Structure 1
Amino acid sequence: MEKNKNGNPSWPVGRYLKYAIGEIILVVIGILIALQINNWNEEQKAIHKQSLVLKELLNSINNDFYEYDSYLDPRLQIKKSGIDSLDAYMIDNKGINDSLFINFYNMARQDVHFRYGNGPFEALKSSGLDLIRNDSLRTHINNSYTSGLPTLVLFANEYYYETKPKIDELFYKLIGIRQQNLPNGSSNLVNNLKVDDVLTNEDFLWALQLEKDKYEQYTSRLIQIRTTLLDLKTAIEKELEE
């Protein structure tokens, strides 16, 4: 080993350079590893956040299905039962007493209001749709909640509001309210039929046709809404499984 002028051993310049370069390489490698770890952590955070958002959307869709099954379907079944019962009396050309007619008619007049949960989607919009990393799924979600579902629900509910004035007008031509005295001395208000031969009455036939049209509109829109939600649910579940 070489010695300096003081007699102490000294390293050649080339060895110092190699040592320095080696240190720099180690530092660079350390920085790259740290960046990779940081990028991996950020990636995992993004994946976790997307998973939470998708699960919230999925929970909202399942809640919609539950509401349709427990609220809309039973009411539509009541409506259909009332319509079918009135049709059966008309086909058999049988007379019907006032209370039975009023009961079936009120069943046929059952209405529903369509809606869907959009809270998780609004929260996603506020956070940024880019949270959804899959381009196709992001487009699917956005189109469903900004176009598909709002349009279907709007058409279904608009038909109710469009027909309501005429249906109410026909109802009050057919059905009145009278006071009924009870054996205990009290009284209450009950419906009574205002026309004779109601099953052949033109106002009733028109009213019944409107209720039939409304039932068809409701069931058709409900099928379309369910299909839209089911397609979206399937796409979200597939993404969560990957």
Structure 2
Amino acid sequence: MIKLFRRVRQRLLTENKFSRYFLYGVGEILLVVIGILIAVQINAWHENRTLKINETNILSQLNIDLKENHKELLELYEFMEVSNLFGKKILNHLQYKNEVTYSLRYWVEGFGSNNIFNNANTTYKNLENSSNNIISNDSLRLRITLMYELDFSNVHRREAMLYAEYFPNYKKELLKNFKISPVMNQWLDEATLEINTPINLKELKQNESYKNALVDLYNFRALRLKWLKKSLVDLEQLIKAIDCEIKETLT
């Protein structure tokens, strides 16, 4: 093609057809410019496509983490629901029953148990450390940030409050009023499992310190359940929004 252009220019020059030569030169320049513009467009399209693929991969991995977080939060929610149900049963037993039952021991064990939120955040941390705004949707990027920096952070903050204040107070009263280890009888031929058995049920029924500690822990868990329910709804909506964004990005 270049040799062809060269031959045409030489022929026009030798024939002294300067006006045609000028027009030909302009046309040649336009062709070169058009070629450059096409090349730039192709390169831009390719770069944009690469960015879109990268964004889709990040969003897909992020949704895997968020779905795992949803599973963790749902398990935590259900665990606390059951724990608080045990707390109600303990108080009801102390009010209406005068004997120690296996159920009471089971409820005490369950109410005194806790679970923690294991936050899957590897993809978010990588995204946070990236210098580029990989996620092009500003609104979606903000929602993701709020989920990690607000909702998930609050879950951890409330866990810290639980272990720093509410649970130690309850545990202190539990240790004062319940047996916490197996008791062997004097013949050593049988082991009577008396873990979580009241030391003195009659006194425990009148013990306001234990009941208050139980109610405080119950109420704090009830608040956490309320907050967790909202976070679960927001998280479900975010996961759906990311799925929609992935589909739109691929089209």
The separation in 1 between residues aligned to 2:89 and 2:82, in whole angstroms, is 11
Q: 2:89 is aligned with what amino acid?
A: S
1:83-128 Cα distance to aligned partner (Å, 9 max, x none): 232233245x221316443222112222122342221111112223
What is the letter of the counterpart of residue 219 of structure 2? D
1:67 maps to amino acid: E
Please, which of 26, 30, 36 is the counterpart of residue 25 of structure 1?
Answer: 30
Query: Quick one: distance in 1 between partners of 2:224 and 2:160?
Result: 9
Could you tell me which residue of structure 1 aligns to residue 104 of structure 2? 101
Structure 1 position 151, deviation (Å): 2.7
Residue type of the partner of 1:140? R
CA contact 1:83–1:108 (8 Å) conserved in 2: yes
The match for 2:3 is none
| 2:30 partner SS | helix
Q: Deviations over 1:187-206 (max 9, x none)?
A: 58742422231233223312
Q: Distance in 2 between matches of 1:188 and 1:88?
A: 25
**What's the counterpart of residue 159 of structure 1?**
162
How many angstroms apart in 2 are the aligned matches of 1:148 and 1:214?
17
Higher RCO structure (Cα 8 Å, ≥6 apart): 2
Q: Which string of whole-angstrom CA distances, capped at 9 and with x for unpartnered residues, describes residues 32-64 of structure 1?
A: 000000001111111111111111111111111
Cα deviation, 1:158-211, whole Å, max 9, x if unaligned, reads 233221221121011111235324987475874242223123322331232123
CA 1:90/1:167 → structure 2, altered by over 3 Å: closer, same or farther? closer
Structure 2 residue aligned with 1:35: 40
Q: Distance in 2 between matches of 1:50 and 1:123?
A: 13
Residue 3 of structure 1 corresponds to none
| TM-score, normalised via structure 2 length | 0.81
* Pairs within 5 Å for 1:1-242: 10-69=15-74, 71-90=75-94, 93-97=96-100, 99-128=102-131, 130-176=133-179, 177=181, 179-181=183-185, 185=189, 190-191=194-195, 192-197=197-202, 198-242=204-248
1:95 and 1:40 map into 2 onto residues whose CA distance is 79
Counterpart amino acid of residue 57 in structure 1: L
Give 1:73 shift.
Answer: 4.0
Structure 1 distance, partners of 2:192, 2:99, is: 24
Deviation at 1:141, TM superposition (A): 1.9
Task: Spell out, residue by residue over 1:186-241, the C-alpha distance to the aligned partner (whole angstroms, 9 max, x if none).
Answer: 75874242223123322331232123113203312321321332232233223223
8 Å CA contact 1:180–1:188 kept in 2: the answer is yes
Closer/same/farther in 2, CA of residues 159 and 205 from structure 1, 3 Å limit = same
TM-score using structure 1 length: 0.83
Q: How many residues align?
A: 233
Query: Which stretch shows the higher mean deviation, 192-201 or 116-125?
Result: 192-201
**What are structure 2's unaligned runs of at least 5 residues?**
1-12
The Cα RMSD (Å) is 2.7
CA distance, structure 2, for counterparts of residue 32 and residue 233 of structure 1: 40
Q: Does the 8 Å CA contact 1:83/1:212 hold for their aligned counterparts?
A: yes
SS of the residue corresponding to residue 130 of structure 1 reads coil
Structure 1 counterpart of 2:31, one-letter code: L
Q: Deviation at 1:145? A: 2.0
